[in-house]
A and B are shown apart, each in its own frame.
Chain A
């Protein structure tokens, strides 16, 4: 059985926030508090390693909301396994939850 890849704490946070949050770059930034210059390259690395994959939002949905379509990321099967391993390694990781935004 191949060894599970070990992620850095930052990469694990990003993986967790993709799993727990809305799955797009800005939501990851909001959940983790990391700057865009860290989050997006890290997501590229996770994607390169096959831990996440992305999908563009359907145009019709974006048009209905009168906004541009977003690129959503979600975990792959190896990504979920890696996240579980990371949660064992970083127990506080599971507490990372979406930020509640007050609606006006």
Chain B
């Protein structure tokens, strides 16, 4: 019954607003009787509501749909122009600085695909038939058609650009945290314990101003996404304290790297292990993250963020062009991205 009502409600969206309530009441009443028959027949009955709704939409009087009447080429081109302008402005305003806005250098297939994607939109933008074009002048209809294609191209392209840019923003998640403050740690060095370090125990470092979002990063953790990840850069291994120093009891003042347990430690360690010369980092971090049985630690935590980005899936059309390749480095900008 629910699915049948859902079908009717979906179809109701096609019905002009002022007729929708009555239309739904009629179909709902009929459904009450039809549902006594078998499920298949009931579903078939409900699917017929779409044809009825489309008929009403197409045959409503002009006053029934005053909000959008594209009955002239000027109105159609005006609407397309507004949408195109909005898409261009949106793309210019929100695109990443390193994202190529124009499709220069992309494959020929991509260039051909865009007008192909635009063509289906032509049908939806006007109800004019080909013979109803301005002044019945044959040439104008092709001018109108070309104008529509010309306006649809930026709509399609700049929306695609926006979608790619959104995807790139999503790919900028971090795996690790960076902090350069003096802290006191107890035996529990699990991620919640690290996150709960009181700000009062911190001694701001002179570089702290470069990373204003680090405390928040430590408290709240870093977002982690699943899937295939690859490190694009790693921290400076010279900043890492030795395993022996960490194992020694009593306070130490050293530089310490930590990785938030919630941040996909396994994924990060696995990625680092593949890098020559970083295996000891893995071993050290693993020991640091032991939840119990460790002596209290006092030191300066300096963790370089281990930025990792999802491997881009090459598009069969646009290819893994330079705008999709993984890149970046551990900079303050990375932190600003996720704050």
What residues make up the interface of A, taking CB atoms closer than 8 Å to B? 24-26, 29, 35-41, 44-45, 48, 67-71
Contacts and interface: CB of A to CB of B under 8 A. Distances in A.
B26 A35 contact: no
Interface string B12-33: 0000000000000110111011
Contact of A26 (B30, B49, B51, B55): B30
Contacts of B45: 26, 29, 35-36
A36 B44 contact: yes
A26 B50 contact: no
Contacts of B46: 36
Nearest to A43: B52
B153 interface: no
B289 interface: no
A71 B26 contact: yes
B282 interface: no
Contact of B56 (A26, A44, A68): A44
Given A26-B30, A71-B26, A71-B29, A38 B55 contact: no
B156 interface: no
B48 A38 contact: yes
A44 B28 contact: no
Contact of A68 (B29, B44, B52): B29
B151 to A, nearest CB: 34
B34 interface: yes
A60 B56 CA distance: 29
Contacts of A39: 48
A48 B56 CA distance: 11
A45 B47 CA distance: 19
Contacts of A40: 48-49, 51-52, 55
A14 to B, nearest CB: 13
A68 B28 contact: yes
Contacts of A44: 52, 55-56, 59
Nearest to B44: A35
Contacts of B55: 40-41, 44-45
Interface residues of B, number: 20
Q: Which 10 A-B pairs rank lowest in CB-CB distance, beginning with the nearest?
A: A36-B48, A37-B48, A37-B51, A41-B55, A40-B52, A68-B29, A71-B26, A36-B45, A26-B30, A70-B29
A35 B47 CA distance: 10
B50 A25 contact: no
B52 A24 contact: no
B49 A36 contact: yes
Contact of A25 (B25, B26, B32, B44): B26
A36 B26 CA distance: 13
A25 B34 CA distance: 11
Nearest to B52: A40
Contacts of B49: 36-37, 40
Contacts of A41: 51-52, 55
A71 B51 CA distance: 19
A45 B55 CA distance: 9
A44 B56 CA distance: 8
A37 B29 contact: no
Contacts of A25: 26, 30
Nearest to A40: B52
A28 to B, nearest CB: 10
A54 to B, nearest CB: 9
Interface in B30-64: 30, 32-34, 44-52, 55-56, 59
B34 A26 contact: yes
Given A36-B45, A44-B56, A48-B59, A67 B51 contact: no
B161 to A, nearest CB: 40
Given A37-B50, A37-B51, A44-B55, A26 B33 contact: yes
Contacts of A26: 30, 33-34, 45
25 contacts: A24-B30, A25-B30, A35-B44, A36-B30, A36-B45, A36-B46, A36-B48, A36-B52, A37-B48, A37-B49, A37-B50, A39-B48, A40-B48, A40-B51, A41-B51, A41-B52, A44-B52, A45-B55, A68-B25, A68-B28, A68-B29, A68-B32, A70-B30, A71-B26, A71-B29
